[in-house]
Chain A
Amino acid sequence: MNPNLSLKTPRAVAPFVKLARGESPRAQLDVLFRTVGLPIIGLLVFLMLWSGVAAKIDTSLGQFPGPAQVWNQAEALYVEHVTERDKAAAFYERQEERIAERLANDPDYEPRIHDYPGKPTFFDQIVTSLITVLSGFVIASILAIPLGIVIGLSSNLYSAVNPLVQIFKPVSPLAWLPLVTIVVSAVYVTDDPMFEKSFLTSMITVVLCSLWPTMINTAVGVNSISSDLLNVSKVLRLGWLTHVVKIVLPSSIPMIFTGLRLSLGIAWMVLIAAEMLAQSPGLGKFVWDEFQNGSSDSLARIMVAVLVIGLIGFFLDRGMLALQRAVSWDKTATLR
């Protein structure tokens, strides 16, 4: 076996390449079976079980959707999105024509562009949810990492803050939400709002719930720096800032990322729940609307949303892992 092969060719392709080269075909087929064959078998078994079970469940909205109906609805949602975009384009086009016409007759006319009044499509909702979750997550991280570092550097502060964190950490987003909604309505009063209130409410709820894992893990990472490295810093008499930047931060990067990945996972779960309850735009609202709608397609459409939510959560986590690999000196971060 050539150990360098895996560096040059992607892992999934390597067995094919080796197979083509005629390198120990038996072993390569074995690898292929484990990396490609088994996941496919798992997927097929799941689809079979799903359609089998779905056929046996009758609901008030008809039969529970199997894989085929869900796929149809996924396509339908895409078609809806495309038609809606076409309509919107046509709407703006008509508007411009009308404005041009009026301007020709009356040069003093100040044109006003009206927004397209159509309702957001499934894909618009995905984008809204992603923007909300990422803003919340970024704000939570900007707060949590420095706080975690400060807390981790001082054992006394850690003892003071830890009980508070332990109490707030398990709080469900649904408990925060009413408070956040009321506070946002009371505090965020402007004539020209930069953000929608619903966006702020969901985002702040995400922040409140995804703050803690990053903070705790950062603090633990900072607190468990090897005493040898601390001694190096002491002997060099590094200043506080250099100490944090050169010693503390790099050595706690693995733990910070563990926290960030946990936080992002929580943020995504929290967001869907918050959107459902708060009726703020996003995937959660899509699910809730379909539930209220109660047409024969609703269950399949909700199922599409469920799968999409899962996939996005998965890709968000992979994204964080890729970021960790790019940023961290420790290249051994494992896929978990």
Chain B
Amino acid sequence: MSDSHLELTGVDIEFPTPKGPFQALDDINLKVDEGEFISLIGHSGCGKSTVLNIVAGLHQATRGGVLLDGREVDQPGPERAVVFQNHSLLPWLTVYQNVELAVKKVFKGRMSRAEMRDWINHNLALVHMDHAAHKRPDEISGGMKQRVGIARALAMQPKVLLMDEPFGALDALTRAHLQDSLMEIQADLGNTVIMITHDVDEAVLLSDRIVMMTNGPAATVGEILPIDLPRPRDRLALADDPAYNHYRHEVLTFLYEKQKKVEEIAGSSAETATSQTKASGKAKERVA
């Protein structure tokens, strides 16, 4: 039927709230080719993370669905590895063990012990973290943790790499450094990537296409901007490049003119709804 690698068709999602269902996403359609780097950009609360979570299988679309290589996505799985915003490393395991947990699960029976060890070390080397393999997450910096998070995701050999604002919590210099690393890795491995970002420069620099989302509720794809800049891309050279600046301008225009945020509070309700469902059943009385 369809020959695209990843396809979102008519995705709607509603979250139950005390005031009735809240529609966060409305009719999201997107086709992604193999090896493509897609950025999702939009104001906070527009449901970018929800889109990513649906592709990851962590949320189920109310209507519509996701096809990966012709198969429907109905649960999370390592072929759609996620790099979480706050790294989500297990604090009781070393850097090596964190990656090992993923490798053991994904390649069990397909790799020997020695092969697994090499593969883990290979992925840590890819993100330049091989020197800290035996440190725990609380002994390394935020940027390093995020590198390990990326290594863990890459080590699963995913068909699609999903990144939820991977560099959002980092300082500007570390972020630039990691963006360059990510570009190198993606050039080497040719991963299909969907990345959520708030950062216009990051989106233009890294992406093949930028998917710009309208404001919620009932957010949808506003515009899709193909970025036709030659790779490898160099941030210094691009700073003065007219094409690069034109793309930046396009994204900024979309965000600050076409989808200007009218009211801060109204827009954040989508995130409130998601976090409510996440938190439900969590707030238990602590009895000591």
Contact = CB atoms under 8 A, between A and B. Distances in A.
Interface of A: 155, 158, 166, 169, 213, 216-217, 219-220, 223-224, 226-229, 231-232, 234-238, 242, 246-247, 250-251, 253, 258, 262, 329-330
A234 B281 contact: no
Contacts of B256: none
B136 interface: yes
A258 B288 contact: yes
Contacts of B254: none
B88 A238 contact: no
B282 A223 contact: yes
Given A155-B281, A223-B281, A223-B282, A234 B88 contact: no
A251 B92 contact: yes
A236 B101 CA distance: 9
A235 B82 contact: yes
B90 interface: yes
Interface in B260-288: 278-279, 281-282, 284, 286-288
B90 A235 contact: no
Interface string B97-115: 0000110011000000000
Contacts of B78: 235-237
B84 A246 contact: no
B190 interface: no
B48 interface: no
Contacts of B287: 166, 169, 216-217, 220
B288 A237 contact: no
A227 B102 contact: no
Contact of B88 (A155, A220, A228, A250): A228
Contacts of B56: 231, 235
A229 B76 CA distance: 13
Chain B's interface: helix, strand, loop or mixed, by majority?
Answer: loop
Given A219-B284, A238-B105, A250-B90, 19 more contacts: A158-B284, A223-B282, A227-B279, A231-B56, A231-B76, A231-B82, A232-B90, A234-B75, A234-B76, A235-B78, A235-B80, A236-B105, A236-B156, A237-B75, A237-B77, A237-B78, A246-B90, A251-B92, A329-B91
Contacts, number: 75
A220 B136 CA distance: 25
Chain A's interface: helix, strand, loop or mixed, by majority?
Answer: helix
B239 interface: no
B86 interface: yes
A329 B282 contact: no
Given A246-B90, A250-B90, A237 B84 contact: no
Nearest to B162: A235
A227 B77 CA distance: 16
B136 A224 contact: no
A228 B91 contact: no
B284 A246 contact: no
B81 interface: yes
B100 to A, nearest CB: 11
B136 A213 contact: no
Given A227-B278, A237-B76, A232 B288 contact: no
Contacts of B278: 227
B138 to A, nearest CB: 9
B176 interface: no
18 contacts: A213-B288, A217-B288, A220-B286, A231-B58, A231-B88, A232-B84, A235-B58, A235-B78, A235-B80, A235-B81, A236-B105, A237-B78, A242-B105, A246-B101, A253-B92, A329-B136, A330-B91, A330-B92
